[in-house]
Amino acid sequence: MPFLFLLIFLFWVFPYLIIPFLVFFAIGFLFLIPYVVFFNSFLNVLTIPWQILKIASDKRVRKNHSLEHATVNVLEERYGKTLRIGGLAYSDGFSLSGPDLPSPYEVLDAAREGIYRMTKGETHLALHPRCGTSIATTNFLLSLGFIVVLFFYNHLSLLNIAAVFILANILAKPLGLTVQRFFTTYRDIKDISIIDIYGKPSTFNFPFEIIINPNQTYFIKTISNKNKFFGFYFNL
């Protein structure tokens, strides 16, 4: 902190020092780009498969992930357009948030329709092209491509960066849907029941929070029918 205050003071007293500082910073940043890209790519290649396998090992999360996608697919069918909605799946349900999220009653009805249609054979509703799995797959392919380029060519150029970017985006959609189908979703959700939908409480109890963060958030709680016994719910 003292160094930062000293830097601000110097720029205030000697404003002409800003230009050489920015030039020095820009040159250093350009010099470090290959190292930053390599480190970030190496980290993605290690962590993304581990995250996907972690989801794949929990069938409850995969089923709720399928229902999350089905709910969004049903809502987008009803509105006839792409909605700015994101979601996260958990072992006891899933959350949806975004500026285009409709009322909780519509979301709950769409979730129930999603279960009904999937149990009747519309298992394609379990997949969604904008799923985080597809985004992670794109990042993994980009990271892997950058590592391969740096390994064989020892440097990055605009040409090979563009080639990696184009190839990764071409492969990302089919590969992302494949990863969804076999690792992060589970299309047999006949044993899943919806308990209720809950709104996210205000984090700071701030009266103008809706202005600062206009995104609505709902949590749809589910339970496996295997955990029901004589009308009682047992949370496992």
| DSSP result, 150-216 | HHHHSS--HHHHHHHHHHHHHHHHHHHHHHIIIII--S--TTEEEEEEEEPPPSS--TTHHHH---E
HSE, CB side, 13 Å, CA atoms: give it for residue 75: 26
**Dihedrals phi, psi of 188, to nearest 5 degrees:** -90, 95
- Can you give the pLDDT at residue 179? 93
CA 114 to chain CA mean position, Å: 21
Is the residue at 29 inside a domain? no
Is the residue at 22 inside a domain? no
- Can you give the pLDDT at residue 234? 38
Q: Which two tokens stand for residue 24?
A: 């020095």
- Can you give the pLDDT at residue 173? 85
Is the residue at 110 inside a domain? yes
For residues 62 and 187, give the distance between their C-alpha atoms in angstroms, rounded to a whole number: 8
Per-block mean pLDDT, blocks of 10 residues, the chain (236 long): 58 63 60 63 84 93 96 96 93 93 94 96 94 88 83 72 81 89 94 90 45 71 71 40
Q: Which two tokens stand for residue 145?
A: 């491509």
- Can you give the pLDDT at residue 206? 44
Domain span holding position 136: 36-233
Is the residue at 127 inside a domain? yes
Count up the domains in the chain and report the number: 1
- Can you give the pLDDT at residue 235? 39
**Does residue 102 come out as left (phi exceeding 0), alpha (psi in the -120 to 50 range) or beta?**
beta
Is the residue at 28 inside a domain? no
Please tell me the pTM assigned to this model.
0.76
Is the residue at 4 inside a domain? no
- Can you give the pLDDT at residue 45? 84
- Can you give the pLDDT at residue 201? 54
Is the residue at 47 inside a domain? yes
- Can you give the pLDDT at residue 153? 74
Is the residue at 24 inside a domain? no
